[in-house]
């Protein structure tokens, strides 16, 4: 984003930079989905690598991009509307390093996202134990 601002200001003094500004703006818009994916995956893999099973609040991640990522990974939207309060918690499965993880995302009051990651086998074992199987 800083590069866009610098190119925009510099374009007033050197008009051919408008071409560079336009190209970089197009690149910035078209790469948004990939950048979102990288940020969310880094947060999830960092959480998994620490071995933390608790819910961790990521102040630098807003819920909406994390929600879009979750939907791309198979999380379901209730009632067909992303802004529905019932969609403040979503879950999906994600394979990391050959292990299947159960990921749960939560919306915080400030709009940031909290993420919890647990191996699917441990989750299934805990649920089976609670159900008495």
DSSP annotation of 83 reads T
pLDDT over 80 (residue 76):
no
Q: If we measure between CA atoms, which residue out of 91, 101, 111 comes closest to residue 45?
A: 101
Please state, rounded to an integer, the average pLDDT across all residues of the chain.
Answer: 83
pLDDT on residue 67: 86
pLDDT on residue 32: 84
pLDDT on residue 26: 93
Number of H helices, E strands in the chain: 5, 4
- Paired tokens of 23: 């190209």
pLDDT over 80 (residue 29):
yes
Task: Say if CB 115 and CB 58 are below 8 A apart.
Answer: yes
φ/ψ bin of 16: left (φ > 0), alpha (ψ from -120 to 50), beta (otherwise): alpha
**What pTM did the predictor assign?**
0.68
Give the Cα separation of 72 and 89 in Å (integer): 15
Q: State CA 14 to chain mean position distance.
A: 38
């Amino acid at each position: 984003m800083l590069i866009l601002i610098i190119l925009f200001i510099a374009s007033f003094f050197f008009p051919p930079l408008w071409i560079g500004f336009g190209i970089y703006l197009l690149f910035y818009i078209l790469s948004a989905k990939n950048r979102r994916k990288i940020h969310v995956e880094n947060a999830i893999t960092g959480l998994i690598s620490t071995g933390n099973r608790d819910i961790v609040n990521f102040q630098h991640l807003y819920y909406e991009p994390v929600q879009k990522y979750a939907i791309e990974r198979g999380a379901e939207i209730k009632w067909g509307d992303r802004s529905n309060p019932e969609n403040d918690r979503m879950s999906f499965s994600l394979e990391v390093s050959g292990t299947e993880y159960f990921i749960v995302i939560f919306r915080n009051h400030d709009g940031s996202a909290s993420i919890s990651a647990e191996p699917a086998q441990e989750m299934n074992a805990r649920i089976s134990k609670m159900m008495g199987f």
